[in-house]
């Protein structure tokens, strides 16, 4: 029988965007293969177990903490638009992660690219 955890991990690992998941202490607990590659020059996989805050400047650290505090104030506070990267034509969001009881357990950064897909519909070649 397939475990739901394996399905969740498979979804994250198949994503074409970088996914970095942190706990409430800002410790990087998961990076998908795209994130490991994208952040390779800063350590890649070796960043897991380290603080995400070490990868950001003071202004960004303040913003991350401000959003995390906002997530904690309400179970309805779950996503914040944080940045538009013009060079890569993407929007960036900070997203709350909650357990079944609605308690905040962590967060991740979500990247949404705005470029039109170049892959053909149902191209199986």
Does residue 125 fall inside a structural domain? no
Q: How many domains does the chain have?
A: 1
User: What CATH number should be reported for the domain holding residue 78?
Assistant: 3.30.450.20
pLDDT values of the chain reduced to their tens digit, one per residue, 125 residues: 999 999 999 999 999 999 999 999 999 999 999 999 999 999 999 999 999 999 899 999 999 999 999 999 999 999 999 999 999 999 999 999 999 999 999 999 999 998 888 889 888 88
CB of 85 within 8 A of CB of 92? yes
Of 1, 43, 59, 49, give the one whose Cα is nearest residue 21.
Answer: 49
Does residue 13 fall inside a structural domain? yes
Does residue 10 fall inside a structural domain? yes
What digits encode the pLDDT tens for the residues 47-74? Answer: 999 999 998 999 999 999 999 999 999 9
Does residue 122 fall inside a structural domain? no
At 123 the pLDDT is: 86
Tell me the pTM.
0.89
Domain around 31: 4-113
């Amino acid at each position: 029988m397939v475990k739901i955890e394996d399905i969740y991990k498979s979804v994250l690992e198949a994503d074409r965007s970088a996914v970095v998941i942190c706990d409430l202490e800002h410790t990087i607990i998961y990076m998908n293969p795209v994130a490991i590659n994208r952040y390779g020059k800063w350590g890649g996989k070796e960043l897991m177990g380290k603080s995400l805050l070490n990868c950001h400047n003071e202004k960004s650290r303040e913003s991350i903490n401000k959003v995390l505090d906002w997530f904690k104030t309400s179970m309805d506070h779950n996503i914040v638009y944080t940045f538009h990267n013009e060079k890569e034509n993407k929007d960036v969001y900070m997203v709350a992660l909650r357990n079944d009881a609605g308690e905040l357990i962590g967060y991740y950064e979500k990247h949404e690219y705005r470029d039109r897909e170049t892959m053909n519909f149902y191209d199986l070649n």
